[in-house]
Amino acid sequence: MQVQDESKAFDDINVTPMLDLAYVLLIIFIIMTTATVQGITVNLPKASTAPSLAKPKTKAITITQDGTIYLDTFPVSLPDLESLLTQYKAVNPELPVVIKADAAIQYQRVVEVLDLMGRLEIRQIGLVTQKLVK
């Protein structure tokens, strides 16, 4: 029988758990360091409280439940809408238009506005809807 020397059994130290701990600490350090970096701090200029001269490029057409047509927030008739959109299209040939119509209106009113968009060759048209909640 061979007897093992008791001092020899503990000569090797298992470093795997220490390496695992070192890798975890390194990952935590990297995550915390990148999370705290917010960019360069600058002193931003203050804007005046006067309304901006730049108008949004997208025009919104709203058709209410009683059939009234609004361009942005101003009520217009169909011929007025055509003349205004013609002017806007002369300034911006790629004029985007968003149409928002009440669900209870007659479909004919929406078709009239869409026909107008076709006559004016406005190709960027969006129809606003609500997200269906299930």
Asked whether residue 109 is assigned to any structural domain, the reply reads yes
How do residues 77-105 score in pLDDT, each as one tens digit? Answer: 999 999 999 999 888 888 899 888 887 78
* Confidence (pLDDT) at 59: 87
* Residue 117 domain boundaries: 59-127
Number of domains in the chain: 1
Please tell me whether residue 76 adopts helix, strand or coil conformation.
strand
Residue 21 inside a domain? The answer is: no
Q: How far is CA 78 from the centre of its chain?
A: 32
Asked if residue 121 belongs to a domain, the reply is: yes
Output the six-digit token pair for 69: 């047509």
pLDDT > 70? residue 25? yes
CATH, residue 103: 3.30.420.270
Q: Is the pLDDT of residue 40 over 60?
A: no
Q: Has residue 3 been placed in a domain? A: no
Q: Supply the mean pLDDT for the chain.
A: 79
Structure pTM?
0.55
Asked if residue 33 is part of any domain, the answer here is no
Query: What is the distance of C-alpha 42 from the center of its chain?
Result: 25
pLDDT the model gives residue 54: 52
